[in-house]
Amino acid sequence: MKIAVLGCGRWGSFHAWYAQRIGHQVMLWGRKGSHHLADLQATRKNEYLTLPDTVELTDDLAKAVAFAEIVIISISAQKLREFCQQLKELPHLQQKRFVLCMKGLEIGTGKRLTTIMAEELGTEVRTAVWVGPGHVQDFVREIPNCMVIAAKEMQLTKELVAAFASPLIRFYYGEDLLGTEIGAAAKNVMGLAAGMLDGLNYSSLKGALMARGTRELSRLIEKMGGDKMTVYGLSHLGDYEATLFSPFSHNRCFGEDFIRGRSFAKLAEGVYTVEALMDIAREYQLELPICATVYAIIHEHKEPQEELLKLFLRDNKAELE
């Protein structure tokens, strides 16, 4: 099949590498002036992988979309609506299958990424999400993992799983798009909290964070109309090892650097996601203690140790309330 990958950062370049590896024709797009694209054009390499010569590189968005049967989008979640403004000018989008390979919620609205796609490009545009555990650094070393693809329509999910399954990635069918998107996005917030615990030398508390964080998000997903059990799958809890413990996790590293006063090149996606989650929590009148604590530390500049320890001083309650 013909696959276009839009976005040539760490994950975009991986998706191009992976799609070519399993036998697809691949075109990788980067915006004009992108240093990631310039490096790939000059050397076919970045710090993670080497792209084969059969992967075509371009900065022509119309060309990339026209080429593809399946379009993978791998950009910053907060840039998706603006990016859709460019896409909507292109013809025949209804004939494409889109796969969002990023995680997040739109700040200011709290909307899911598939909702943004439908609002900007129309509900007839078929869109799925591809999320779950794994790091580029591990995949390129031939370490396999499991991931999940979810869409509103199961037929699209099955088509995409058939297109991308391989011995390197075992895919599962996601049956709850809402829960998959919320869980995948919120996982990054738990990653920030885990990094903060590491920064305070409280790493032993990450077990409690895993258990209580998952329960916290299950209540939210259920309140929003999704399946509360989805959060216990690959999109959220299944991704915790890669996010709460891995040295490769951007969100975990950001949380640790934030606590220890180190400089960071860019904000982690969880910084935006926690803002959106607090808006959603207010809308649904639901308490999210861990998310609220992360928000208070990052956005309200509260004292980190004091705020994190408050979580352990809350009133006693039944575990599954």
Same structural domain for residues 169 and 202? no
Task: Categorize the per-residue pLDDT at 6 as very low, low, confident or very high, splitting at 50, 70 and 90.
Answer: very high
Task: Categorize the per-residue pLDDT at 313 as very low, low, confident or very high, splitting at 50, 70 and 90.
Answer: confident
Q: Find the CATH number of the domain harbouring 166.
A: 3.40.50.720
Residue 175 and residue 154 in contact, taking contact as beta carbons nearer than 8 Å: yes
Q: pLDDT tens digits, residue range 254-280? A: 999 999 999 887 899 999 999 999 999
| DSSP three-state, residue 252 | helix
| Number of domains observed in the structure of the chain | 2
What average pLDDT does range 195-213 have in this prediction? 95
What average pLDDT does range 179-191 have in this prediction? 97
Does pLDDT of 136 surpass 90?
yes
Of the three residues 149, 175, 201, the one that is the final residue of a domain is: 175
Annotated catalytic residue: which of 96, 111, 187, 206?
Answer: 187
CB-based contacts of 68, cutoff 8 Å, min separation 6: 2, 3, 4, 27, 96
Q: Find the CATH number of the domain harbouring 220.
A: 1.10.1040.10
Please check if 96 is assigned to a binding site.
no
Question: How many CB atoms neighbour CB 45 within 10 A?
Answer: 12
Does 320 reside within a domain? no
**CA dist., res. 240 & res. 38, Å (int):** 33
152 carries an active-site annotation: no
Same structural domain for residues 27 and 160? yes
Res 319: pLDDT: 79
**CA dist., res. 13 & res. 28, Å (int):** 7
Same structural domain for residues 253 and 153? no
CB-based contacts of 257, cutoff 8 Å, min separation 6: 195, 199, 263, 264
Q: pLDDT tens digits, residue range 81-132? A: 999 999 999 999 999 999 999 999 999 999 999 999 999 999 999 999 999 9
Please check if 176 is assigned to a binding site.
no
Domain that holds residue 158: 2-175
Task: Categorize the per-residue pLDDT at 51 as very low, low, confident or very high, splitting at 50, 70 and 90.
Answer: very high
Res 183: pLDDT: 97
Please check if 158 is assigned to a binding site.
no
Please check if 9 is assigned to a binding site.
yes
Does pLDDT of 214 surpass 80?
yes
